[in-house]
């Protein structure tokens, strides 16, 4: 049987960033993206002002809809041009790679070894090769009703949020397959 999860708000902090659209944690810093295309890094102990911020140059319109940190890079899901970008974490305005596959990515996460992308139109989860230029190495079907808009790894568990249905899903990845561990409706005030 699936076991439910219970969330309790511990604290809130407003980030001084216009229209924030994406967040990621690298273990030391909070990365944030805004609809204006700005990327910023914050000290979680003092988020009143960004440590630094930048806007990627020479790539056209950029709207970060998701962020992930891993494999020595900052990864962004660009909602403006429906693509994945790999940024230099020391200078995020410098883009190291752009996906060209024509997919519709809706969520992105990194497990510490590989980049994972949820493709919204096909509702598939893709695991990319270590060299992302070579494309995905595996594809997984999770649930036909899931439309992931955000996801994050925690150990062997992949947590996915479906904003369309206000649901939080948790899958366990063992061996080469996923098993559903929980699926909960998030109600206002929970």
Strand partners, 168: 161, 184
pLDDT tens, position by position, 132-186: 888 899 999 999 889 999 999 999 999 999 999 999 999 999 989 999 999 998 8
CA distances 57 to 32, 62, 96, 112, 161, Å, are 17, 9, 12, 27, 30
Q: Which secondary structure element, helix H or strand E, spans residue 66, and what is its range?
A: strand 64-70
Burial of 5 (0-12, 13-18, 19+ CB in 10 A): middle
Give the residue carrying structure tokens 């660009």. 78
pTM exceeds 0.85 for this model: yes
């Amino acid at each position: 049987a699936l076991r439910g999860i219970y969330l309790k708000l511990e604290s809130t902090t407003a980030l001084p960033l216009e229209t924030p659209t994406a967040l990621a944690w690298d273990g030391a810093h909070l990365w944030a993206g805004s609809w204006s295309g700005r990327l910023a890094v914050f000290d979680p102990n003092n988020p009143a002002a960004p440590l630094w911020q930048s806007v990627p140059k020479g790539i056209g319109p950029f709207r970060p809809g998701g962020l992930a940190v891993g494999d020595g890079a900052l990864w962004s899901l660009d909602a403006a041009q429906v693509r994945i970008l790999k940024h230099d974490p020391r200078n995020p305005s410098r883009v190291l790679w752009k996906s060209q596959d024509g997919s519709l990515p809706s969520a992105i996460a990194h497990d510490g070894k590989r980049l994972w992308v949820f493709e919204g139109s096909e509702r598939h989860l893709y695991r990319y090769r270590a060299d992302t230029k070579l494309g995905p190495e595996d594809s997984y079907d999770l649930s036909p009703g899931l439309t992931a808009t955000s996801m994050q790894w925690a150990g062997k568990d992949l947590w996915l949020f479906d904003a369309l249905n206000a649901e939080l899903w948790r899958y366990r990845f063992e061996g080469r397959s996923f098993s559903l561990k929980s699926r909960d409706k998030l109600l206002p005030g929970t």
